Structures are given as C-alpha cells and as structure tokens.
Amino acid sequence: MAPSSTTGAGTLYQYINCRILRGGKIFREDLWVRNGKIMNPEPLFFDEKVIADVRIDCHNLIISPGLIEVQLNGGFGYDFSTDVDIEKGISKVAKEVLAFGITSFCPTVITSSPTLYHKVLPLIKKCEGSSKGAGVLGVHIEGPFINKERKGCHPVQLIQDFDNGFSDILDVYGDLSNVTLVTLAPEKKNALEVIEEFCKRGITVSVGHSSANLVEGEAAVRSGARFITHLFNAMLPFHHRDPHLVGLLTSDKLPQNRKVFYGLISDCIHTHPAALRIAHRVNPDGIVLVSDAIGAMGLPDGTYQLGEQTVEVQGYEVYIKDTNILAGGTATLDYCVRCFAKETGCGPVLALEAASLHPAQLLGIDDRKGTLNFGADADFIFLDDGLNVKATYIAGECVYTSST
C-alpha cells in the first residue's frame, strides 16, 4: 500500500461523496486538502504516490468557496462605527458569522467623526480566519465623503468634502494601513485625483451615496474606481436620458480591461426582486452580494444604535427611528444568497459565486480566496440543495457545524 503522506507534508484530507463548485460549474469530484490549501490530486497520485490520511464522507452536499462579505456594519449587539469595545465586537462577529458560511469579511465603518476614525481604524486589524472566527480583509469605510442628498442613514452633520484633495482624506481617516475599500461620491470636487491616489495605495474605491450622472461615474471608473456600493440604494434612479451610476453596468465608455462590480443587497427589502432580476440579466458577472447588516443582526426586534443614529428593527427591516428611511438590515449573507437564487432563478452557481468569487475578484485576492482552485486557501462551506449552510471550514479546519 502507498504511504499515507510524505514525511513532514502534513495531514492529507480527501472529501468524498460531494459536489464541488469550481470553474463555474458544480460537479461530482473529490476535494483534497493539505496544510490549509486545496490540492491537485494528480501530483499526489503520480509523483508523491500517496493516499489520504483522512477520508470524509460529505453525504452528497455541495462544497462551495467560503462566502466573502464586503459590507458588514456589525452584528450581535456590536456596531463597528463606535469606539465601544471595537476589538471585542470584531471578535464576536467574526466568530458568529461562521454559521452563515462567511469565512472572510470587511468590517464597515459608516460616516463618522475624524476622532472616531483615528481611534477605531488602527484597531480593526487585518487577519486570516481561524477557529476563532472569519478572517478580516480590511476595513470598508463608507463615507464621510458622500453626497448629503443621498446620505441614507448617514449623519448629515458629519459628511465632508475633500477640497484640498487627498490631504483631507489623511486628516479625516488618519492611518490607512487597515483600510481595504472606500465608498465616496465621485461628483465631489477633486474626486478623480483622490480615487487615483487611493488606487496607488492599493485601496479599492467604490462609488456610492451619490447623485453622480453617468459621465461622472465613467470618469471615476477611468480613474480607478471598481465598485458601486449597494446598487439602486442611495443614488439617483435609472432614467432613460441619463441612467446615472446604474448605467455603468452597460457603459461602452470604460477601459476594456476595467471590470465594474456592484453590490446588491438581495434581502428583497432594500432591492425589489424585479430589480434583482434586471441587474442579473444585464450584468451577472459583476454582482457582489452583500447584506449591509447592522449591529442588530442576530438580535430580536427592538430599538438599537447604528453609529450616531437610533434605528428600529422589525424582522429584516431596519429604519431610522420615526422615519421610513432604511438603515441597513439584519438579513445574513447566506439568506441573501438564497433570496437571490430564488428570485432571479439564476441557480446555485451564480448565487454562490456572487458571494465568494466575485468579491474576491473585486478585492484582487481571487488567487487565494473565493475559489476551490488548486493552491487556493481551503476556506469552504458545505451546503444542502436549498443552499443552507451545514458546515464551515477555514484553512481546512472545521470551524462550524450546523445542529440541524
């Protein structure tokens, strides 16, 4: 019999009786994992001449790359836009979201004061996932350089301009080392030079909370912007004479090598099912599903604090207190995946890729995250045919198992 593994190579796992999502298809094939990476079985057989140390029967479940959440404001009573126990809050949320199939996420900080940014941003450190929780890919700062007319739940008194260019960015945010994604309004004065500087620093730029027309949006993309924050929400609606930022989905004025991704809050509250279907049919490859969940995610109905705003939660609906203004939601990302699959009829492949591969492509980490390609990080989830999460693995280690 062949040896189980080469000396010092680490335990070799073989997941059998499963259907894996790879290369835009779900097909029946075993998954091989060693040292926290997805392995190519051919060199194992023909070069190393080894067999698995451990074989795991998956009982015909789907294995998908772990979900990646790029817009998460908090959860389980913790709000990332405050300085109250922020490190404890990140730790708590990172652990709890494993049940939703999330293996990596971007904690999102909304429009806040410079004092808060200077205090909080250095504390939200990038890290790989583990049994302690999902990995932190870096902060998504949503504001304060947005349009007051499209503020949504953002506190208007804290919205700012960058009249002095990128120096204003540094004054307001302070340390940018933990920042991965920034949402800004591209129609603001000096926006293009600010976008270019963010890109030079390796920070992804998103346009959103904006009254920009299509021409302004196209200019932003040519300057380096790659994302639209929660499409349809907090922006001018589509108009046949000027489709505004929505028009970026079909624009022919963009660089040929520049792909525009866009966030969709597919909880069927922020975005009507018909709008989900329109986006899906127009530009399926750019979809990035997000929850935009707030600190009340995982908690019962009631009144809670989001940054400096008081909000009311009823089911998955969250509004600024005593208004009809949506203020995020409490739906989880796996719920959004199921809603999107159901309402668009797109099937499990696109629904899962829109919450794994696409966000990884957006952030430029798809060489190691968001796929089950050989050599990628072994961050994956087990799902049933209803796309319910049954188990979550990070670096090949089981970190969550469903009790049902």
Q: Which residues are catalytic?
A: 292
Is 230 annotated in some ligand binding site?
Answer: yes
3-state secondary structure of 191: helix
N- to C-terminal Cα distance for the chain? 38
DSSP H helical ranges for 174-294: 191-200, 214-222, 273-282
Read off the tokens for 333.
Answer: 């990302």
Read off the tokens for 169.
Answer: 């960015």
Is 19 annotated in some ligand binding site?
Answer: no
Read off the tokens for 208.
Answer: 């959103």
Is 234 annotated in some ligand binding site?
Answer: yes
> 394 to each of 36, 261, 361, 377, how far by Cα in Å?
8, 26, 19, 8
Helix axes 273-282, 333-344, angle to 10 degrees: 80
Residues pairing with 383 in the sheet: 62, 389
Q: What does the alpha-carbon distance between residue 137 and residue 277 come to, in Å, rounded to a whole number?
A: 29
Is 270 annotated in some ligand binding site?
Answer: yes
State the sign of the Cα–Cα–Cα–Cα dihedral 243, 244, 247, 251: positive
Is 324 annotated in some ligand binding site?
Answer: no
Q: Indicate the helix (H) or strand (E) that contains 118.
A: helix 114-120
Is 331 annotated in some ligand binding site?
Answer: no
The answer to whether 80 and 92 are in contact (CB under 8 A) is: no
Q: What does the alpha-carbon distance between residue 89 and residue 83 come to, in Å, rounded to a whole number?
A: 10
Please choose, from the candidates 145, 109, 6, 73, the residue with its C-alpha nearest in 3D space to the C-alpha of residue 328: 73
Is 329 annotated in some ligand binding site?
Answer: no
Is 298 annotated in some ligand binding site?
Answer: no
| Phi and psi torsions of 209, nearest 5° | 45, 60
Q: What does the alpha-carbon distance between residue 250 and residue 19 come to, in Å, rounded to a whole number?
A: 34
Is 142 annotated in some ligand binding site?
Answer: yes
Is 153 annotated in some ligand binding site?
Answer: yes
Phi-psi region of 88 (alpha: psi -120 to 50; beta: other; left: phi over 0): alpha
Query: Which parts are annotated binding residues for substrate?
Result: 153, 233-234, 241, 270, 326-328
Query: Which parts are annotated binding residues?
Result: 142, 153, 209, 230, 233-234, 241, 270, 326-328
Query: Which parts are annotated binding residues for Zn(2+)?
Result: 142, 209, 230
